[in-house]
């Protein structure tokens, strides 16, 4: 059983460039979450999907950020015109949702973005 | 709205000593509460969770936490610290609706001295 994987693990880019991250959830999980963790802080919720539908976006997710999950499997998070303030660890988590009780979110190792 | 406050950004204990990491939450509805551990350059691993069953919750690696509604607290304890427990610990809350998004505290870095 493979866990949640994220690619790349590290990304260094120059301010103004676009970047895209990928998350592959646990295969049978229908929910996928994105969080952002800056230095010295806990992770903050960005957005989540149930299957291919994006059901909620945080106010943290400016219009430079876009996330997709086209076939309800892997997801991508794109940041356009990166700024130095975007430097952070981007974490992906997945869970199964069966319409009732809470199910654990399993986290990937994260993608660390550095914007120069 | 929901929030989490972790008291103490850094806790240092000796190997074999009691570990106590403090967490207070705010939630307008009965919450689900969690403790996660994060090792350097890794993702988050769930230690334990409270989902409205028993108020004393046992987790992995000998950790446990007690939900105290009157104190809005969910403190994490371990009777005897081990060197391998050195890591960052995050308390999180999920409440309201079916999205189950997590709101995390700022974390507590645990150092274990030999």
- According to DSSP, residue B81 is labeled -
For residues B18 and B20, what is the distance between their CA atoms, to the nearest angstrom? 6
Look at residue A112 and tell me whether its pLDDT is greater than 60. yes
Query: Tokens 């660890």 correspond to what residue?
Result: A89
Confidence band for A40, pLDDT divided at 50, 70 and 90: confident
The per-residue pLDDT for A66 is 96
Sort residue B97 into left (φ over 0), alpha (ψ -120 to 50) or beta: left
Strand partners, B6: B23
Residue A61's pLDDT band (boundaries 50, 70, 90)? confident
DSSP code at position A105: P
Q: How far is B78 from chain A (nearest CA, A)?
A: 22
Which A positions 56-115 lie with beta carbon below 8 A of chain B?
Answer: 56, 91, 93, 95, 97, 99, 101-110, 112
Q: Which residue numbers in chain B have pLDDT < 70?
A: 96-97
| CA atoms A36, A42, A45, A49: torsion sign | positive
Residue A8 and residue A24: Cα distance in Å, rounded?
Answer: 11
Contact A56 B98 (CB under 8 A): no
The CA distance from B70 to A109, in Å, is 36
Distance CA A111, CA A7 (A): 7
In this complex, do B99 and A109 lie within 8 Å of one another by their Cβ atoms? no
pLDDT beyond 70 at A4: yes
* Strand B108-113 to B10-14 pairing: parallel
Phi and psi at residue A85, to the nearest 5°? -70, -10
């Amino acid at each position: 059983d493979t866990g949640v994987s994220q690619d790349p693990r590290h990304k260094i880019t120059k301010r103004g460039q676009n970047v895209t991250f990928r998350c592959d959830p646990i295969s049978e999980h229908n929910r996928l979450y994105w969080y952002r963790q800056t230095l010295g802080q806990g992770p903050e919720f960005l957005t989540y999907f149930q299957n291919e539908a994006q059901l909620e976006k945080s106010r943290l997710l400016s219009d430079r950020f876009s996330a997709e999950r086209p076939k309800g499997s892997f997801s991508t998070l794109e940041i356009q015109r990166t700024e130095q303030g975007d430097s952070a660890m981007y974490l992906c988590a997945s869970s199964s949702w069966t319409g009732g009780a809470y199910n654990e979110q399993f986290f990937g190792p994260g993608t660390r973005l550095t914007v120069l | 709205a929901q929030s989490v406050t972790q008291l103490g950004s850094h806790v240092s204990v000796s190997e074999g000593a009691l570990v106590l990491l403090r967490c207070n939450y705010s939630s307008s509805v009965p919450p689900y509460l969690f403790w996660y551990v994060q090792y350097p350059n890794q993702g988050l691993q769930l230690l334990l969770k409270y989902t409205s069953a028993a108020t004393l919750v046992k987790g992995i690696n000998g950790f446990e936490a007690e939900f105290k509604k009157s104190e809005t607290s969910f403190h994490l304890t371990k009777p005897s610290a081990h060197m391998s427990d050195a890591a960052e610990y995050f308390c999180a809350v999920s409440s309201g609706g079916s999205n189950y998004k997590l709101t995390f505290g700022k974390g507590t870095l645990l150092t274990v001295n030999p």
